[in-house]
Chain A
């Protein structure tokens, strides 16, 4: 069942990405809020960080499970791929990632369960360690993905001919030709999507709440989320431009597919949406000259590649053009939102965090941000098909040939379908709830720490 296996893994990773991005965003917001509460002795920032730290424990627990599911599924569903990874230096990246994960875990345990035995600043420093561990994990995983796009550190031609891994350079996979571009783009976009989700929840809660004190806390949360959103969207746009030019040079077939170029050319339009049938474009909205102009400006390349330069058996599914365009347009929309936010906040000196227009806009935009992050991942992965490791190993070669995943696989999917909404509902519930009464009774000291007063 290779198709089901792929779907199962895609489903798992799509779910995991959501948890990962939200958890990275939450821990950054916690860390910033805690720092501001210490510097300004601000009870609203303090309450915000305390409430979010409870949410973070839950998301960490679910995220760890989801991470282990992914690690095991990689072996059970794609043993051929994992064997190649494990026989080359690429495994070193995943191995290093585990230590980043440990950094996050141990720091979190101390941060959450031993808060009373740390000074305030030591407690805050631990939040930085947690954030560093979470972000390093994301960086390492992205490095492994970059290796899949531009594999190095072994003799690929020998492997293709014989299946044997030779000429190993164990450290080379840490720095492939696409690593910098990919990490530089993935990190801000993942963080951005998470920040949008967290900010979206704050906005929704602000609209709903009638409690003035809570609104003050949420306003502080929105300030942090908006600041992070502005910084990360700028980084995402700049790094996105760099990523597409890197793609053009390193993976011209993938570039041709996402730009839907049937043939190479020197004066190609930018095509919005549309499809390709019998070598002809249909349903696209062309912007004349734009693609060639952008490519020339960014890279100096005058001839833009096209699909006809490559055998059709190597073409990825061309719907990556749609996913890519949707991602770019969604990104631009979000960029415009934050441009308006910045103008309102910094130049017009108004309060966008309390403006109904911005608050109501933030909620759907949070979902759009999540969607474009997922679409970016789909574009990257599907755009590499039929290769799992570019020009080295196909999905068919990587997959497990045995059956037997169907029923347990469906159970895993069903579990996620039920668990994820419950988890997010529970986040909201925990964020808004008071301490457990028995904790307040038994341990007033801790109860004070968990107090949801402002």
Chain B
């Protein structure tokens, strides 16, 4: 077991879960503003800063954990990452402005939130392209340190990976926000998404389709099923902490896609993981910082829980 990788992947799983829930909110804001905006915005308001911080966390933790990967990653993905940055700035700026704007001519809160939603969606697609390339190696030549988007696009499984994941995200979005009017799409889209994703993994490597899929597939399905079978069970998955935890476990269980080898077998993760005295520094700071973070999140959860018991719905951002 590679503890450095496991810790990194655990943080990735949390980041991915937060980010996926933001993509879910974004899709609902774009597709169904009237029905979803109040619930989605109530959720986004306190969470988006934390997602952003996790993004920075992931970058620096990656620098620490896999130092010898930095040059190849920079060479291969720099243009794509730079486009990512542009959308990231757009996401933060539009959201920060949206929280306080009062309608001025054509610019209003709804329009800014839609810009945020579109930026987040584009960010999601860029991340999915990167992840797909890191899993399959499509378009990637590690020895020459190049990544060709065209090659990636026409490789088996690439588009299926993106489409499958997006189907799952759209399918589960109504469950996160308890939108009953969209109940009908939940299971069909989720099942389609799982099927397409499994096909994509199979096209990447037949070894991916194994018993290891027995954690993520049932867990993903369970979220959808719980939402549709009764109001009582729907309330369980609509609990944000439960949903994010389930999503984090699901993402974490997908680590077999990139460990022990990634980039379509071109990269052995153990070889590029930091070692020697750096390991102890990594573990020590992660333990101390993680404990601090856990205390803060615990405090945050207790206040958030208290607010839930007495808070009115949105419109009501509890801002001082």
A→B interface (CB under 8 Å): 49-50, 53-54, 57-58, 60-62, 64-69, 71-73, 75-77, 79-80, 82-83, 85-87, 89, 91-92, 94-99, 101-103, 105-118, 123, 168-171, 400-402, 404-405, 408-409, 411-412, 415-416, 419, 423, 426, 430, 433-434, 436-439, 441-443, 446, 449-450
Supposing A61-B96, A71-B59, A98-B56 touch, asked if A82 and B82 sit within 8 A by C-beta, the answer is: no
A64 touching B56 in the complex, CB below 8 Å, given contacts A86-B70, A116-B307, A438-B315: yes
Q: How many of chain B's residues have a CB under 8 angstroms from any CB in A? A: 75
Residues of chain A within 8 A (CB-CB) of B285 are 92, 95-96, 99
On chain B, the residues within 8 Å of A117 by CB distance are 303, 306-307, 310, 318
B46 in the interface (beta carbon within 8 A): yes
Check A79/B303 contact, CB under 8 A, given A61-B96, A115-B318, A123-B320.
no
| B314, chain A: closest CB distance, angstroms | 8
Bound complex: CA A20 to CA B260 (Å): 40
B242 at interface by CB-CB < 8 Å: no
- Contact across chains for B318 and A446 when beta carbons are under 8 A apart: yes
Residues of chain B contacted by A54 (CB below 8 angstroms): 100, 319
Q: List 26 contacting pairs A-B, 8 Å CB cutoff, sorted by A.
A: A54-B100, A61-B96, A62-B93, A65-B89, A79-B74, A86-B67, A91-B60, A96-B285, A98-B61, A99-B292, A101-B56, A102-B53, A102-B292, A109-B50, A112-B319, A114-B307, A169-B277, A171-B281, A404-B79, A405-B79, A405-B82, A408-B83, A412-B82, A412-B85, A415-B90, A416-B89
Contacts of B71 in A (CB 8 A): 79-80, 83
The answer to whether B231 has its CB under 8 Å from any CB of chain A is no
Task: Check if A415 sits within 8 Å of B277, measured CB to CB.
Answer: no
Cα–Cα, bound, A452→B288 (Å): 41
Q: Mark B46-75, 1 if CB is under 8 A from A, else 0.
A: 101110110111011101100110110111
B99 at the interface (CB under 8 A from A): yes
| Cα-based distance from A76 to B75 in the complex (angstroms) | 7
Chain A residue at minimum C-beta to C-beta distance from B89: A65
Q: Which residues of B contact A91 (CB under 8 A)?
A: 60, 63-64, 67, 278
Judge whether B49 and A108 touch: CB under 8 Å.
Answer: yes
A53 to B317 Cα, complex, angstroms: 14
Q: Does B95 contact A (CB under 8 A)?
A: yes
Given the complex, which residues of B lie within 8 Å of A85, measured CB to CB? 63
A108 to B75, CA, bound (A): 36
Smallest Cβ-Cβ distance to B291: which chain A residue: A99
- In the docked arrangement, what's the CA distance between A171 and B281, Å? 8
**Of A75, A415, A426, A449, which one neighbours B70 at CB under 8 angstroms?**
A75
Find out whether the CB atom of B82 lies under 8 angstroms from the CB atom of A402. Answer: no
CB distance from A98 to the nearest CB of B (A): 5
Q: Tell me, in angstroms, the Cα distance from A64 to B71 when the chains sit together.
A: 24
Considering only residues 35-53 of chain B, those with a C-beta below 8 Å from chain A are 45-46, 48-50, 52-53
> Closest approach, in angstroms, between the C-beta of A283 and any C-beta of chain B?
41
Q: Is B276 in contact with chain A by the CB < 8 A criterion?
A: yes
B91 at the interface (CB under 8 A from A): yes
CA distance A250 to B145 in the complex (A): 39
A116 contact from B70, B102, B318, Cβ within 8 A: B318
Instruction: Tell me the minimal C-beta distance from A448 to chain B in angstroms.
Output: 11
* Nearest chain B CB to A66 CB, angstrom units: 7
Q: Return chain B residues, CB-CB under 8 Å to A79.
A: 70-71, 73-75
The listed residue with most A CB atoms (<10 A of its CB), out of B93, B109, B320, is: B320
Contacts of B50 in A (CB 8 A): 105-106, 109
Residue contact A68 to B88, C-beta cutoff 8 Å: yes
CB distance B59 to A72 under 8 Å? yes
- Asked whether A442 and B312 contact (CB < 8 A) given A83-B67, A101-B56, the answer is yes
The answer, yes or no, to whether B289 is at the interface (CB within 8 Å) is: yes
Contact of B78 with A by CB under 8 A: yes
Q: Is the CB of B95 within 8 A of A61?
A: yes
Given contacts A64-B92, A442-B316, whether A113 and B102 have CB atoms under 8 Å apart is no
A168 to chain B, nearest CB (A): 5
CB distance from B275 to the nearest CB of A (A): 10
Q: Determine if A86 and B63 form an interchain contact, defined as CB atoms under 8 angstroms apart.
A: yes
B320 near A115: Cβ-Cβ < 8 Å: yes
Q: Is the CB of B57 within 8 A of A102?
A: yes
Inter-chain pairs besides A65-B89, A71-B60, A76-B81, 19 sampled, C-beta below 8 Å? A54-B319, A61-B49, A62-B96, A72-B82, A79-B73, A82-B67, A83-B70, A86-B70, A94-B63, A95-B282, A98-B61, A102-B289, A107-B296, A118-B303, A405-B82, A408-B85, A412-B89, A441-B315, A446-B317
Assess the B274–A65 pair: CB atoms within 8 A.
no
Interface residues in B98-123 (C-beta closer than 8 Å to A): 99-100, 102, 109
Does B97 count as interface, using CB distance less than 8 angstroms?
yes
CB < 8 Å neighbour of A58 from B55, B97, B276: B97
Given the interface contacts A82-B70, A114-B304, does A72 sit within 8 Å of B81 by beta carbon? Answer: yes
The answer to whether B85 and A61 touch across the interface, beta carbons within 8 angstroms, is no
Q: Does chain A have a CB within 8 A of B300?
A: yes
Q: Is the CB of B79 within 8 A of A50?
A: no
Assembled-state Cα–Cα distance A402/B288 (Å): 38
